[in-house]
Structure formats: C-alpha cells, structure tokens
Amino acid sequence: MTTYFERHGTLHVSGTQLMDAHDTPVQLRGVSTLGLAWYPEFVNEDAFRTLRDDWGANTVRLAMYTCEDGGYMTGGDRQALEALIDKGVKLCRELGMYAIIDWHILSDGDPNIHADAAEDFFARISARYGDQPHVLYEICNEPNGAAVTWPVVRQYADRIIPVIRENAPDAVILCGTPTWSQDVDLVAQDPIDDPNVMYSLHFYAATHRDILRRKAENALKHGTPIFISEFSICDASGNGAVDMKSAEAWRALFEEHGLSYIAWSLSNRDESAALIRADSDRKSDWTDEDLTETGLWFRGVLRADRDEP
Ligand code: IDC
C-alpha cells in the first residue's frame, strides 16, 4: 500500500485550504508530542506506526519547548533535543507521514524575546530538512501577553520566515497568533506576504466554545488559512473534565471546513489531555485499556476520518 505522503506529496496553500501536490484539498490529522525533553520515549517507530496504521494519523507534531523546564532556552540539552527532532522527522519520512517542527514558546509570550536563537535554529533545521517535503515548520506555538499584538508577532514572522525560505522555498509554515493562538481573526488586517503560510488556531474544548469557533469562521471568511496545530477536549490547563458536546461542535467545524487538526498530547502524563493513561507503560500498540477518555475519543475521530484507498 502506498503511504499518505506518497499519495499527497508536497503541500501548498490555496485560498484558505491546504492542498496536496495534485491540487486536491488535504487534511493533516495527528498528534503532538508533549515536551520532547519530557517524554522522549514516545518518539519511537512502533508508536508512530501504531498511530498511522491503527489510529489513522498522517502527521506527528514535534513540540520543543523554548522556556519551560528543560527548554531550548532554559538549559535544555540542545543536542539531545535536536536529535529527537531528527529521529521524529526521519520516522515520519520512513512511514510516509508529515512532520511538524514546533518552536514551542509559552511562558516566553513574545516570540521576539528569543528571535536570535529562533533564527539560528530555523536556519540550521531548514538546511537539514529543506529537501524533505514532508516537513512543516511551526515558528511559534502560542504568542501571549497584552503587548503581544498581531503586529508584534508579524515582526517575528518577518524575521524567521525568510531564513526558512532560503532552504525550504515552498514548505508550509505555521505561524502562531496572539492570545495563545486564538486571535486568528486579527490576521486578515495584515497577513504575512507569503503564499504558503497558515495561521495556528488552538483550542481546549472545555474552555473554548462558540466565541472561538466564531473567530475561526470569521478568519476563514476573510481568507485566512487556519491550521489547528494543537487542541484538546479538556480545559486549557490540559486538565479537568472533558467536554464532549463542545468537542463534537469543534469536530463538526473541522469537517465543514476541511481543517487540519493535531491533538495534544502523545504522553502518559497524569492529566486529561494525555492520550495515554498514566498507569499504562505501553509506548506503542495501545489497547482500549491504555487510552484515556481523550485518547479513546480522538482515536475514534481519526479512524472515522481516515481516507486510505
Ligand atoms: C501543558 C502540558 C503540561 C505542562 C504545561 C507547561 O499539558 O503537562 O506542565 O504545558 O506549562 C497550551 C500549550 C501547551 C500546554 C497546554 C495545556 O501550548 O504547552 O501544555 N496548553 O495547558 N496551550 C493551551 C493549553
């Protein structure tokens, strides 16, 4: 059987839609790692193969925190982090999946704070993977803070994107948006001048409901291509009860607009967003008993959406 990547090849953006090499709309669907530094054991071939074959995922997002514990800017082992990215990118290539390399800003709300390091990182990373069309670059996870307006995020994007473009002229680049990647409706005022950029929308279904869905629809109406590069169905802390009703409303939005969606997170941390139960030791080949409520729901969504010939 051909792999997802073999069937769809190099991606590009047309209007608000992500398209494949044959100019047909595609939906990337998959999971995000938790911090690579924290759960490196989930970056393994059997895990990715299980996600692909049993769950129906076509994408893995590799989340590298910049400023949390063990982050790239806060004393993390940079070599080890880049080796994990390398392993994840290679596994995705071998398995015919797409890979998203995520510069996971969070407590460092303004991406400009570490733009020098980001520039250096993306220059090297894009030189390494520029000829690998299954790789997408996510330049800042979640800009946040009152002063971090869309123009401030754009200033960062205008620095980083040209650096990536030197090596990966056509790769799809994901850019975070203000307020923890929620304000996708602000982009249309001044979109980035690059045809293959999409804008991140993140939601946690028990916290974010109609108001954020309306923002998403507004953004689409104004021609802003959005990509759900992180979400879960619990609350925004990554914990608390899941909200199935809101989750299903979000799911309907994905389907209506063909949005790509990536669930947080591939880990067994003791929190509601984790897809794997904290009492499970399995790092692949998960059974129903290994999955959390979130994991069971999400595997069901992927299975329902899978579109192999
Ligand atoms: C959370 C993790 C949690 C970790 C925390 C660090 O789930 O285990 O301790 O980060 O601060 C986001 C972020 C994402 C968060 C997640 C849940 O992108 O890093 O992960 N979240 O809080 N945005 C909204 C929610």
Per-residue pLDDT of the chain (309 residues; tens, 9 = 90+): 899 999 999 999 999 999 999 999 999 999 999 999 999 999 999 999 999 999 999 999 999 999 999 999 999 999 999 999 999 999 999 999 999 999 999 999 999 999 999 999 999 999 999 999 999 999 999 999 999 999 999 999 999 999 999 999 999 999 999 999 999 999 999 999 999 999 999 999 999 999 999 999 999 999 999 999 999 999 999 999 999 999 999 999 999 999 999 999 999 999 999 999 999 999 999 999 999 999 999 999 999 999 876
Short-list 254, 236, 234, CA closest to 244: 234
Helix 244-257 to helix 210-221 angle (10° resolution) is 10
Q: β-strand 59-65 against 98-104: which pairing, if any?
A: parallel
Question: Does residue 237 have its Cβ closer than 6 Å to ligand 1?
Answer: yes
CB 273 within 8 A of CB 239: yes
100: CA distance to ligand 1 center in Å? 17
Q: What is the pLDDT, as a whole number, of residue 64?
A: 98
Residue 201 tokens read as 């929308």
- Angstrom distance (rounded) from CA 31 to CA 26: 16
Ligand 1 mean position to 104 CA, how many Å? 10
Looking at residue 309, its pLDDT comes to: 66
Tell me if residue 142 is catalytic: yes
Contact (CB, 8 A) for 297 and 289: no
Omega before residue 229 within 30° of 0, cis? no
pLDDT attached to residue 270: 98
Q: Let me know if 255 is a catalytic residue.
A: no
What is the structure's pLDDT at 159?
98
202 φ/ψ angles, rounded to the nearest 5 degrees = -115, 140
* Residue 18 phi, psi dihedral angles, 5° rounding: -80, 130
Note the Cα 32 to chain centre separation in Å. Answer: 6
In the chain, how many H helices and how many E strands? 9, 10
**Sole residue written with tokens 């969606």:** 261
Which residue's CA lies nearest to atom 13 of ligand 1?
106
Residue 180: which of 157, 158, 201 has the closest Cα? 201
Whether 138 contacts 174, CB under 8 Å: yes
- From the CB of 273, is ligand 1 less than 6 Å away? yes
pLDDT at 290: 98
Type of residue at 84: L
pLDDT at 308: 75
**Closest by alpha carbon to 107, among 201, 157, 180, 186?**
180
> Ligand 1 within 6 A of 220 CB?
no
From 82, 142, 248, 289, active-site residue? 142
> DSSP letter at 52?
I
Residue 228 contacts residue 201 (beta carbons within 8 Å): yes
The reported pLDDT for the residue numbered 261 is 98
**Beta-carbon contacts of residue 142 (< 8 Å; ≥ 6 apart):** 105, 106, 176, 180, 181, 200, 202, 230
How is 247-276 classified by DSSP, letter by letter?
HHHHHHHHHHHT--EEEEEES--SSTT-SB
